[in-house]
Structure 1
Amino acid sequence: ALSLQKRTHAAAVGLVERKAIVHLRHFRYAFLNCTNQNALGPTETEQDKVKNVFAKPLALTKLAHFLMDMHRENGKWSGQKARPLVLLAEKPASQTYLVVGYEYPELSGSFVRNRFGQHFQMAASTMHGTFHFDSFDSNVIEVDGKDVQRFIEQLHYMMDST
C-alpha cells in the first residue's frame, strides 16, 4: 500500500511537471506509458518495465482522485476550469490501454454522478475496434492500443454532441 502511494504521488508530480495533462472542452486526459519513468516513478525490477502498476482500475482511479484533489485544493481546476479527468494506462503485455473516466465534485463532500460509463459505451459503439468492459465500474474500459487515440477523439465528439 505504501509503495502504491509513493508511485501515485510520483506519477502525479511527473504528469504535472511535464504538463502531460491535456485540457479539452469537456474533459482533461493524460497517458501513462510504461516507458515513461516520470509516470511510474522509480522502477525496482525488470519486470516492472513490462508491467504498468496503474494498469489496474483501482490504482488508476486512486491516481485520478489524487490529481483531482490536489488541483481542487490549489484552485486550478475549480469553478469555470472544473473538468472531469480521463486517465489512460498502458498495458504492454496485451498491447491495450486501461481507460478510467473520473468525475469529481467541486466541493468536498458533494456527490457527482459519473457519466463516463455511458460516454464510453457510446464512443465504443460508433467505432470498429476492440473494447472490453470487464470491470465492475462502468467508467472503466480497456481499449486496443492502436485505437486509443481515435477513442479519445470519439469520446470528445460524443460529449460535444450531448
Structure 2
Amino acid sequence: MLPVMDMDNRIPVFLHEIEEDTNGWIEKEIRVIGILKYTQIRTATAIIEQYLNHSKHRLIVDTLLVGNITIQHNTNDVVEIMGKLTWDDTSGPSRYSQLPPEFQVKLSEERVPVIRAHIIRDAQGMNMPLYQEVVKLRRQFESNVNELLENEGYEIILIT
C-alpha cells in the first residue's frame, strides 16, 4: 500500500536497506549518502560506501547524467546522491566489469543494483549519527500522519 503522505519523492535510504530488500527499492527515486570511493570518467561509473553499525556497504553509481564528477568531488569525499535505483545486467559485456577487483564483489550476481544519479552534491561535514536519527524520526512522523489520515478517511495528500 502506498503511503497517504510522502514528504519527498526522493526517499532517504541507507545502503544496508537496499542490500536487505533490493527489489523493494528498485525503480524508486532515492537519496543516499556515502563516501565516494571510486570514479571512472570513461565508463561514467562511481562507487560509494557507507559505514553504519560497524559494517561497510557499497553501491554502484551511474554518473552518465551528471557528467564528470571528479572535477567537483575527490575520492573519499562524502556525497549525497539522488536518483533512481535500477537493476543492471552483468551477464554480458558490462561497463561495471571494468571496476577494480576490490569493487567487483557484487558482480558475481547476474544483475546488480545501480543508482542512476540525477544529482550529486557535497555532504562533507555530515554528522551521520544525527542524520540516521533524523531519518528515523521523519519515518516515524510520516507513519503517524499516514495512520491518522487513513483513520480519518483521507486517501491521499499532495504536498506542493
TM over 0.5: no
User: Considering only CA atoms, is the larger Rg found in Structure 1 or Structure 2?
Assistant: 2
The structure with the greater share of residues assigned to helix is 1
Place the TM-score, normalised by the shorter chain, in its bin. Answer: under 0.3
Q: Which one scores higher on RCO, CA 8 angstroms, separation ≥ 6?
A: 2
